[in-house]
Amino acid sequence: MRTDLFDFDLPPESIALRPASPRDSARMLVVQGDGVLRDHVVSELPKWLEAGDQLVVNDTKVIAAQLSGRRIGRPTEPRIDATLIKRLDGSRWQALVRPAKKLVEGDIIRFGNEGKVCLLGHLDAQVERKGEEGEVTLSFSFHGPALDQAIDDLGVTPLPPYIASKRDVDERDAQDYQTMFAQAEGAVAAPTAGLHFTPALESALRAHGVGIHTVTLHVGAGTFLPVKAEDTEGHRMHAEWGRISAETAAALNQARADRGRIVAVGTTSLRLLESAAAEDGMIEPFADETSIFITPGYRFRGVDILLTNFHLPRSTLFMLVSAFAGLDTMKRAYTHAIAKGYRFYSYGDACLLFRDNQ
């Protein structure tokens, strides 16, 4: 499909720079299967679900993946900023660096911030390989848990560019940019639909008879990248690692057999469930990478309802929700949301989408 079909104009003031407080006080636009739009708040989510429905949340935890340092070992030592995007093994990460043109393979980058102590006071990494669009493979001087601790000591929360370009990262973001379900370290971006949940909302859902299950998909920085190709067929998705346990798969399959609906909390949970779904809709255990790219025309097998945020124009995520609820419906929903003052993107409000039944 043509990429420009997924374009829309968004006023800059619609971009949320802080989350709602409390989290479940965020607004929630309900998009019904027949295209009817209803304005609600996230705390009312239980009213839209039925006993036996099963929520699936992503328990990935965002790491302090934004590192700053300098190239060393050559006459000049320019500043280098790196965002870790994918763990390759115990000592190597794929990263986006700026300015990439200042680096060649074999260069050493020394990361460190004054006032922070990290083992020997700094963290070195060698540029092992340079790729396209500023991607490099960094081989660090530490390994395993020692490297994880060093990154945590020296790094900061990697806020999305549409927030980071408007204000500095601060201590609040370390808490605000994690969901209450965060357990498995490895993401460089939050599964933002999960940011709306509170213990009170979880209790209300369980009291209503709704089950809650966790899966893991380590969200990469590719989620922020625009689709540059003129046609969706020309876009390449970045692979992300995910896991669905045998226990979770069995529970979801039993619920579906009992006519319960599967509710994905976020596009990350949905993409993982669809990656693991068989043709008949059965969810299979999964532990692998996925680069699934969902556009209109895709036949959904594993998910019935989607809770998600409002996404960027021309993004793979807006394409996904358009596949789920219908392109015309989502364009109308976004026009309504902008007119009504809904807040967009990672710290913004939510949509509850029911599958297109047209």
Measured between alpha carbons, how far is 45 from 47 in angstroms, rounded to an integer?
A: 5
Segment 193-198 shows an average pLDDT of 98
Q: What is the pLDDT of residue 165?
A: 86
Q: What is the pLDDT of residue 110?
A: 94
pLDDT above 90 covers a percentage of the chain that reads: 81
Segment 292-316 shows an average pLDDT of 96
Would you call 85 exposed, middle or buried from its count of C-beta atoms within 10 A (0-12, 13-18, 19+)? Answer: buried
Amino acid at 145: P
Measured between alpha carbons, how far is 119 from 80 in angstroms, rounded to an integer?
A: 21
The architecture that CATH gives domain 66-155 is Beta Barrel (2.40)
DSSP secondary structure, 175-192, as one string: HHTS-TT--EEEESS--G
Domain ranges of the chain: 3-62+174-354, 66-155
- Range picked from 62-66, 129-133, 306-310 for highest mean pLDDT: 306-310
* Cα 270 to chain centroid, rounded: 11
* Angstrom distances, CA of residue 174 to CA of 170, 177, 190, 330: 7, 6, 11, 32
Q: Give the tens place of pLDDT for each residue, 16-53.
A: 999 999 999 999 999 999 999 999 999 999 999 999 99
Q: Are the C-beta atoms of 33 and 357 separated by less than 8 Å? A: yes
Amino acid at 276: A
Q: Are the C-beta atoms of 80 and 241 separated by less than 8 Å? A: no
Segment 144-149 shows an average pLDDT of 92
Amino acid at 223: T
Q: Give the tens place of pLDDT for each residue, 112-122.
A: 854 444 445 68
β-bridge mates for residue 62, sequence order: 187
Q: Give the tens place of pLDDT for each residue, 72-108.
A: 999 999 999 999 988 899 999 999 898 989 999 999 9
The pair of structure tokens assigned to 109 is 């980058």
**Torsion from C-alpha of 103, 108, 112, 117, nearest 10 degrees:** 160
Q: Are the C-beta atoms of 227 and 3 separated by less than 8 Å? A: yes
Per CATH, which fold does 3-62+174-354 belong to?
QueA-like (3.40.1780)
